[in-house]
Each structure stands twice: as structure tokens, then as C-alpha cells.
Chains A and B, each alone.
Chain A
Amino acid sequence: MNFGGRRLYDGSSIFDPRVGWMSVTPELLGSLIDAHGAALRLFARQWCDTADDVVQAALVSLARQSSVPDDPAAWLFRAVRNGALSARRSEMRRKSREQLAASERNDWFEADTETAVDASAAVAALNALPDELREPVVAHLWGGLTFEQIAVVAGISSSTAHRRYEQGLRQLRERMEPSCRNKNL
């Protein structure tokens, strides 16, 4: 990706042999927000309510880095993961379980009637998944991360990430079968 004569994030490592590692520029931040903003928010939303704050903190933290990480997308997802888990611990202290269940409103996906599945049913099914199965599904399906990147983010092997992804999809299929039948899937 080129913008204004500068090489921006294109999903690969940002290393220019002429100048070394690029520093985090506003253009790079903007391109990362465009490419991963919604996915990062969804990735954080699976753990906490304050997803936007977590994403913003991760982007600001990236901007403070002296050099661009080897894989900015994986770095951001990992930073968002850490921030979201920390925010969830804070929320758990503040809220009771009933309040947590009441706060699980459908702000995960766009309210679009043209989708093959009901968004609310998908959110309910995703919420019912264990964290270790939901994380690779969200990261791969909507975040666009490879299983190698998910392995880096979650601290597991890529084969484990793939196995959990497949297992998560199987469980989602079982939970969403009624809504899929309603949508004539």
C-alpha cells in the first residue's frame, strides 16, 4: 500500500533496508484503523464492554513505540487482547453476573438484514462459546489473522489455533441451527 509516496502497512513486515525500521507515522496509524479498526473493536468486545476505549489505548500505545513492530496487526490484536482482559477483570469487580448478562447487547455486528444469519443469534452463540474457542474464530473470521498470527497473539501453536477454530465453528453450528433454519440456510 502506498500513500503519498510512503510505504504503508500492507500486512507484511515494515522494514526498509535503506532506512531500517519505520517509525509509527500518522499515515500508518490511519491505515491500521481503516484496515483493522472494526475487527479490533469486535475482538475486544468479546471480552469487555469498553471495546472502543481498549482499541484507542492500543493504538496510542502503538504510536508510542520507537519503531514499528514486526507485525503491526498481530501486535495490535495482542495489545487489544491484553487490554480487554484487564478491562473485563475490572468490570467483573464492578458488576454482578446479572448485570453482565444484561449488558450483552448486540453491538458486535452491523444491523444488516442482508446477512445469512441473525446477528443476535450469532452474538448469543458466540457468547456461549468458551474464550479459547471464540478467540480464534473472531480473530480469523472477522480479524483476518492467519493461524500463525493467532498463535502469536494467544500464545499457542498454530495447529492448536486451527483446531480450536474448527471446534468453535462446530459448536457455533450446533447452537445456531434453529436460526439458520429460519434464515433458510
Chain B
Amino acid sequence: MSEQEPLTPEVKAVEAALASLRPAATTVSRDRIMFEAGRAAAKPRRAWAWPAATAACAAAAIWLGFRNAGEPNPFAGGDASLAVSREPTAQETNLPPGSIAAAQPSSPRSPDSYLYLRQRLAAADLATMSFSGEPERSLPPASPPPAFNRAEWLRRLN
């Protein structure tokens, strides 16, 4: 205000004359304002948060769907990049032909694993099984179980 020039007497006279006018009183109801203010304060201010989060998740799902739509399904048709090939272990080579272990090329390598022990049991190779800390016995591989025909079964049952 210091750099502002003072008003001339003529303008000051108009200013004083206009200042004698009183603005019309507002018809705004104070009670109405208090009621509206209280109602507004009671409304949740972040009512947009959940809709916004839902919209963002939906948009992300749609975007991911379009993004992955053109890519091949890695679980259909056998992807060569996912195939695991390895040489059979020494124990697996001793299994009799036609056993379960021979039919499952992806047996675990650890001799203490559940699948390996189960394969050995199924192959009736219990005598040659070794456990942790126990040296493996070098027994000859078990012969395959005898193949019974119907006449042999009837004979044994009688």
C-alpha cells in the first residue's frame, strides 16, 4: 500500500457516499448451514477410495489379459524348453525292465527320497536297499517276480 497513491478528494467523496449503502442481509439460514455442515462432516470423505481401488484392479486384470493373450500356453503341447532330460542313475539301471521306476524317467536322485524308496519297494529290491549312513550292499539284482497264469493260481489256491 505504501507505493499506492492516495485517492483524490472527488473519488474519496464517492467512496464515502457509496460506503453509506448497507448490503442487503443474507437470507441464509444459520440453522440450515449448521445442519448441512454436520451432514457433510458425517459423510465419509474417502468414499472414492474403494471404487478407485476396484477400478485399478479391474484395469490391471484387463491389461494383463491382453498382454498374455498372444503368448503360447507353456503347459499345452509340451514345450521342449521345459523338458528335463538326464541320464539314469546307477541304481535305476539295475532295476528290472518293466518296473515302475523304469517307466518314470524323472525319479529323484537321492537314495533316501520317498519316490526312490517307493520305486525300489515296488521292484521288490528291499534286500539291496541302503539308507543314510549304511553302506550299500552289493547284492545281485533281484529276479523279477514269477509270472503266474490262471492254472498256476488255481493250483496254489487248492
Please give the residue numbers on chain A whose beta carbons come within 8 Å of chain B beta carbons, in ascending order.
24, 26, 29-30, 33, 37-42, 45, 51-52, 55-56, 59-60, 63-64, 107-110, 112, 114-117, 119, 122, 137, 141-142, 147, 158-159, 162-163, 166, 169-170, 172-173, 176, 180, 185
Q: How many A-B residue pairs have CB under 8 A?
A: 119
Please give the residue numbers on chain B whose beta carbons come within 8 Å of chain A beta carbons, in ascending order.
1, 3-5, 7, 10-11, 13-28, 30, 32-34, 36-37, 40-41
Q: Find the residue from A147, A163, A170 having the highest chain B CB count within 10 A.
A: A170
Please judge, given known A-B contacts A115-B20, A141-B18, A158-B1, whether A29 and B37 are in contact too, CB under 8 Å.
Answer: yes
CA–CA, A172 to B13, complex, Å?
11
Chain A residues whose CB sits within 8 angstroms of the CB of B14 once the complex forms = 169, 172-173, 176, 180
Q: Are B24 and A180 in contact (CB under 8 A)?
A: no
Q: Are A109 and B17 in contact (CB under 8 A)?
A: no
CA–CA, A145 to B21, complex, Å?
17
Chain B residues whose CB sits within 8 angstroms of the CB of A30 once the complex forms = 30
Distance to closest chain A CB from B5 (angstroms): 8
Chain A residues whose CB sits within 8 angstroms of the CB of B17 once the complex forms = 115-117, 180, 185
Chain B residues whose CB sits within 8 angstroms of the CB of A63 once the complex forms = 33, 36-37, 40-41
Q: Are B33 and A60 in contact (CB under 8 A)?
A: yes
